Chain A
Amino acid sequence: MPEPHASVAHQFDDAGQQYQASHLGMWTFLITEIMFFGGLFTLFAVYVSAYGEAFAEGSKHLDLILGTTNTAILIGSSLTMAMAVRSAQLGRRNGQLLFLSLTLLLGLAFLGIKAVEYTHKFEQHLVPGPNFSFPSPVARNVQLFFSFYFAMTGMHALHMVVGVVLLTILIVQAWRGRYTADYFTPVEVSGLYWHFVDIVWIFLFPLLYLVARHA
């Protein structure tokens, strides 16, 4: 284990080349993710242009306080994730453990608040399906808004769950002292993933929670 380049796989010349390959691989994956969420966002734009009033009515039934809190939590988790990568770059094991754990806690807090929001929607009969009820002549279009809401925030939450699993693995490995200033690629590329999930929420929040809030 203590020999210098034990963590370089045999197909790479050195740690630098291995790092670059992993880095580009992660970005390529994130680009496919951008296209995936981009499709959802485009579809949302098309339907909000067709059913603007109904979507505004639906949007007003989302909890602005919880949504804003979750936005702040996720931005905070991006800061702690960036600090975790920095600790890894500097080979500081305690820093890695502290900041990875904080990121994990903030991620779980986000998912907890999301669960509370979903529960409210079930109680208020705002979940699309046979139990959906909304006192409005455009109720079916409002139901379409909530279909978008659950599809988009649900896909985002699923990505958060994957991120939580990644963080758990990172914490265990950091505990074992796997990451040093010479080798921290898993921390770096997991960080890229986590920040990407943050960016998706940065767009979801204004589109779902703030659309026509003033009307």
Chain B
Amino acid sequence: MTQHVVPTRLYVQIFGALLALTALTVLVSFFDLGGGRLHYANAVAALTIAVTKATLVMLYFMHVRWSSRLTWVFVGAGLFWLLILVVLTLSDVFTRHWIPALPPWGLTSLQ
């Protein structure tokens, strides 16, 4: 059976990178990067770091980098469907302010 055996040094380097990115995302969260009421810039920074970390885990720890083309197709299809779920839902929610789909029920319920 042919299997790619990853050198220990590479695993430790990925581990180090993941810890450094964790420290970075905590550090960045203390600063207001702007983006208005919802702090979009902070959310984008946090998600960018999280996606980078997840990519490192998938490529190296989960061996996707050395996996068969068929595995790539499966993983790619899964992530593409996730993108459909997230993007279509959010583009709908974020562009329909005229529909009171989410009333501030916390405020009214106290009266």
- Chain A, 41-67, contact with B by CB distance < 8 Å: what is the 0/1 string? 110011111111110000000001000
For A184, the closest partner residue in chain B by CB is B3
Describe A's contact surface by its main secondary structure.
helix
Q: A28-B74, A42-B85, A140-B109 are in contact. Are A81 and B61 (CB under 8 A)?
A: yes
**Across-interface contacts of A199 in B (CB, < 8 A):** 53-54, 57-58
**Across-interface contacts of A52 in B (CB, < 8 A):** 37-39
Cross-chain contact A51 with B89 (CB below 8 angstroms)? no
Cross-chain contact B85 with A39 (CB below 8 angstroms)? yes
- Chain B, 85-107, contact with A by CB distance < 8 Å: what is the 0/1 string? 11001100110000000101111
- Chain A, 182-206, contact with B by CB distance < 8 Å: what is the 0/1 string? 1000000001100110110011011
**Across-interface contacts of A166 in B (CB, < 8 A):** none
**Across-interface contacts of B1 in A (CB, < 8 A):** 15-16, 19, 181-182
For A202, the closest partner residue in chain B by CB is B53
Q: Which residues of A contact B (CB under 8 A)?
A: 15-16, 19-20, 23-24, 27-28, 30-31, 34-35, 38-39, 41-42, 45-54, 64, 68, 71-72, 75-76, 78-79, 81-83, 86, 89-90, 137-142, 144, 181-182, 191-192, 195-196, 198-199, 202-203, 205-207, 210-215
Given contacts A49-B93, A214-B31, A214-B39, 19 further A-B contacts (CB under 8 A): A16-B1, A19-B1, A24-B70, A31-B81, A34-B78, A38-B82, A38-B85, A46-B89, A54-B106, A68-B26, A75-B18, A82-B60, A86-B5, A137-B107, A137-B110, A138-B104, A182-B1, A206-B47, A214-B30
27 contacts between A and B (CB under 8 A): A16-B2, A20-B68, A24-B70, A34-B82, A39-B85, A46-B89, A75-B19, A78-B15, A79-B14, A82-B11, A83-B11, A90-B5, A138-B107, A191-B62, A192-B62, A195-B62, A199-B57, A203-B50, A205-B25, A205-B50, A206-B49, A207-B46, A210-B26, A210-B46, A213-B29, A214-B32, A215-B39
